[in-house]
Structure 1
Amino acid sequence: MKILIADDDPLVCQSLQVLLSREKDMEVIATAHNGAEAIASCQSTLPDVVLMDIQMPVMNGIQATRQIKQDWPEVRVMMLTTFQDEQNIRLAISAGAEGYLIKSIEVSSMAQQLRTLFSGSTVLDADVLRRLTQPEKDELKKLTPREKDIVELVAQGLSNREIAEELFISEGTVRNNVSVILEKLQIRDRTQLAIYYWRKS
């Protein structure tokens, strides 16, 4: 997994580079100190995952994420920040970030979350998500028990294949159920579905 680290604190970049490089399946291929540098690095290195801070000079992480996802939609973006407020969470996800972690996370846990993100799943810090406003309880009545089970597993970051194995159903059935759930709840994608789950938990 090729990783780009974008953070305006050189010490943070250096520390993460050293620690993540110890993981056998990870390589930090570049660092950037603002959003504009992150975009330029994506163009020259095309990383698999970007670890993106929010508050940076020149261009912040949310602006950079939006541009990166527009130009290189296959690049996965993990926000890594000290900000836990609802506005930044919503803005980051709206910009296209597939993950949102707080900098206090242990590096071993971060490495595992990066693997989860790289595999195609959404990674959202539960403590952060609980800060979001609770949705209307009546919305939950739209879901069948099986659909509620699937929502819970999506929120845990499981892929369709993993959900299928967990519930002993086909991957196609999971895919169809997820589409029905999104339609019922008028939710755009799996990331928003995960947020929905954590809001009501």
Structure 2
Amino acid sequence: MAIKVLVYDDNEALRTSIEALIMAEDDFLLLAVMPNAETVETDVKELQPDVVLMDIDMPVINGVMAVQRIRQFNQQLPVIMLTVFDDNDNIFKAICAGASGYLLKQNATSEIPGAIRTVMAGGAPMTGSVARKVLQMVPKAVNTEQEKSNLSEKETAILQLLVKGFSYKMIATELRISIDTVRFHIKKIYDKLHVHSATEAVSRAIRDKLV
């Protein structure tokens, strides 16, 4: 079954590029390409997308506000943010809002297909330079060594694979465990690191050298 994609971006040229890119993939179905997120709640409820590509900097309703609105009624829908390199404040706000991944606009057309497949498989796609920006903004942990020691050997192994961009299914295959077991361990990792998403967990792991 095709992955249903909903796109929000106020840049007409980029919208056209994304539209062509998604339509060229046999396993993607483009639902709509919107210039702003003013009707995001209605769009998501009516179109039922599998994944949303969301520009951060848009008029009327910006991407961060749009993610917040989505999360008020849907906690599971993957939302991949499209951002610019120096947009520190909004990237940080997007983490707190519940975004699922982050791509630089200049790399978006080459990274979007893989990012969509990664997030649909449970991963957290993030352009490397965006990840570095995120790490610079997140406050340093006080009890890094304690948190590192709190992670079990299996949890550490799973966190290492998350950092490498592995999906839940790929982790299960690599470690020869069930996907349910992977989910159980990842929940424990979230609890121990005081994070709420794979993106935050990866950021903490890299920033505080937990793996």
TM range (shorter): 0.7 to 0.9
Counterpart position of 1:11 = 13
**Structure 1 residues 31, 38: CA separation in 2 closer, same or farther (over 3 Å shift)?**
farther
Matches within 5 A, 1:18-33: 18-33=20-35
Which consecutive unaligned segments of at least 5 residues does structure 2 have?
Answer: none
Q: How well do the aligned residues superpose, as a CA RMSD in angstroms?
A: 2.3
User: CA 1:48 to 1:176, structure 2 compared with 1: closer, same or farther past 3 Å?
Assistant: closer
| Residue matched to 1:195 | 203
Letter in 1 for 2:10: D
Q: Which residue of 1 aligns with 2:73?
A: 71
Would the aligned equivalents of 2:103 and 2:111 in 1 still touch at CA under 8 Å?
no
Q: TM-score, normalised by structure 1?
A: 0.86
Report if aligned partners of 1:4, 1:49 keep a CA contact under 8 Å in 2.
yes
Query: Which secondary structure state, in structure 2, belongs to the residue aligned with residue 27 of structure 1?
Result: strand
Q: CA deviation at 1:177?
A: 2.7
What amino acid maps onto 2:164 in structure 1? Q
Deviations 1:141-162 (A, max 9, x none): 3334432221111233333332
The 5 Å alignment of 1:163-178 reads 163-178=171-186
Answer yes or no: is the 8 Å Cα contact 2:22–2:28 preserved in 1.
yes
* TM-score, normalised relative to structure 2: 0.82
1:124 Cα deviation after fit: 2.2
Please, which runs of 5 or more residues in structure 1 have no aligned partner?
Answer: none
- Counterpart secondary structure, 2:31: strand
**Equivalent position SS for 1:35:** coil
Q: Which residue of 1 aligns with 2:64?
A: 62
Separation (CA, whole Å) in 2 of partners of 1:19 and 1:97: 22
- Residue by residue over 1:36-57, the C-alpha shift from the partner in whole angstroms, topping out at 9 and shown as x without a partner, is 1444432332221111001111
Task: Report the Cα offset of residue 170 of structure 1.
Answer: 4.1
- Give the corresponding residue for 1:140: 148
Paired-residue identity, %: 35
Partner-residue secondary structure (3-state), 2:56: coil
Other structure's SS at 1:104 match: helix
Indicate the residue corresponding to 1:119 in structure 2: 121
C-alpha distance after superposition, 1:50-92 (max 9, x if no partner): 1100111111011011112222334321101214444322211
- Aligned mate of 1:156, from 139, 160, 164: 164
Count, aligned residues: 201
Deviation at residue 108 of structure 1 after TM alignment: 4.1
Tell me if the contact between 2:37 and 2:63 (Cα under 8 Å) persists in the aligned partners. yes
The answer to whether the 8 A contact 1:31-1:38 is kept is no
Supply the distance in 1 between the matched residues of 2:168 and 2:120 (Cα, whole angstroms).
Answer: 15
Letter aligned with residue 193 of structure 1: A
Q: 3-state SS of the aligned residue for 2:123?
A: coil
